[in-house]
């Protein structure tokens, strides 16, 4: 009997073994062999955003071109502000009305800086700014004093959206440069209208949703 106890104590004192039963010993986490290196997922480098390159910039001021029209516009503006103050003599209301009028007439009243880049076209002036991507326009149309960037006028949405008019210098000295840049980005209006409009299957809106439902029902 004493010998049996000595044997059991020897079994318990074996290195690397614990006193847990065999069915519990198998649940221990497997130890990695020495020298094994943990794999690290490669870190993807963040791509820097593409820098927009400015192609051409010029400044125009339309107000001095026709002095008589300028006097009529400024007089009408002052008269509208005075009428608003007479109707509602509150400084805050008059200030809001003045800002609205100035915002709408800013491209005519103040000097305008036109900017053409690789990605956008538009203008900046006092209290007004309109810069859009080239891909929102369909085509361009030439005029004696400038070039008009227009949307797709074949659709109701395109007819309701306002385009951008790029004025040349008064002597039209920069006309060729502007037309060169605009022509590299857009087609002339007559040429663009001669092509069929692109039909997008996944176009948003209630109308497209109804059309998809109708097509699904017809398939059934």
Q: Is the pLDDT of residue 122 over 60?
A: yes
Residue 200 included in any domain:
no
Among 3-17, 52-66, 128-142, the minimum mean pLDDT is found in 3-17
d(CA 153, CA 193) in angstroms, rounded, equals 9
- Return the residue matching tokens 């059309």: 211
Q: What is the mean pLDDT of residues 61-78?
A: 94
Containing 107, the helix (H) or strand (E) segment is helix 91-109
d(CA 176, CA 173) in angstroms, rounded, equals 8
Q: What angle do CA 128, 107, 153 make, to 5 degrees?
A: 90
Q: Is the pLDDT of residue 142 over 90?
A: yes
Residue 6 included in any domain:
no
Q: What is the pLDDT of residue 159?
A: 85
Shortest CA distance to 145 belongs to which of 163, 123, 169? 169
Residue 183 included in any domain:
yes
Q: What is the pLDDT of residue 202?
A: 47
Q: Is the pLDDT of residue 36 over 60?
A: no
Residue 151 included in any domain:
yes
Q: Cα 216 to chain center, whole Å? A: 33
Q: What is the mean pLDDT of residues 150-178?
A: 91
Residue 26 included in any domain:
no
Q: Per the structure block, which two tokens stand in for 172?
A: 């039209």
Count of structural domains within the chain: 1
Q: Is the pLDDT of residue 185 over 50?
A: yes
d(CA 115, CA 78) in angstroms, rounded, equals 31
Q: What is the pLDDT of residues 81-119, one digit of tens each?
A: 999 999 999 999 999 999 999 999 999 999 999 999 999
d(CA 10, CA 6) in angstroms, rounded, equals 6
pLDDT band at 65 (very low <50, low <70, confident <90, very high): very high
* Its pTM surpasses 0.75: no
Residue 198 included in any domain:
no
Residue 123 included in any domain:
yes
Greater confidence (75 vs 203) lies with 75
The residues facing 60 across adjacent strands are 112
Q: What is the pLDDT of residue 116?
A: 96
Strand 164-167 to 112-117 pairing = unpaired
pLDDT band at 214 (very low <50, low <70, confident <90, very high): confident
Q: How many CA atoms lie within 13 A of 144 on its CB side?
A: 0
Q: What is the mean pLDDT of residues 146-163?
A: 89
d(CA 219, CA 214) in angstroms, rounded, equals 9
d(CA 77, CA 40) in angstroms, rounded, equals 68
What lies within 8 Å, CB to CB, of 108 at 6+ separation is 62, 63, 73
d(CA 217, CA 180) in angstroms, rounded, equals 50
Residue 214 included in any domain:
no
Structural domain containing residue 67: 54-193
């Amino acid at each position: 009997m004493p010998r049996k106890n000595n044997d059991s104590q020897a079994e318990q004192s074996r290195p690397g073994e614990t006193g847990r039963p065999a069915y519990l010993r198998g649940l221990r986490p497997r130890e990695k062999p020495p020298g094994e290196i943990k794999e690290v997922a490669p870190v993807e480098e963040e791509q820097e955003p593409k820098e927009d390159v400015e192609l051409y910039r010029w400044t125009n001021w339309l107000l001095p071109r026709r002095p008589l029209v300028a006097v009529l516009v400024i007089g009408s503006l002052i008269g509208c502000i005075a009428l608003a103050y007479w109707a509602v003599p509150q400084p805050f209301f008059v200030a809001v009305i003045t800002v609205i009028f100035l915002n709408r007439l800013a491209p005519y009243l103040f000097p305008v800086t036109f900017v053409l880049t690789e990605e956008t076209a538009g203008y900046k002036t006092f209290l007004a700014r309109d810069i859009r991507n080239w891909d929102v326009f369909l085509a361009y149309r030439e005029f004696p004093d400038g070039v008009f960037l227009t949307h797709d006028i074949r659709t109701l949405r395109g007819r309701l959206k306002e385009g951008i008019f790029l004025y040349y210098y008064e002597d039209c000295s920069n006309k060729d440069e502007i037309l060169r840049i605009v022509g590299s980005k857009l087609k002339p209006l007559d040429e663009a209208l001669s092509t069929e409009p692109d039909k997008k299957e996944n176009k948003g809106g209630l109308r497209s949703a109804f059309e998809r439902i109708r097509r699904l029902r017809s398939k059934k």
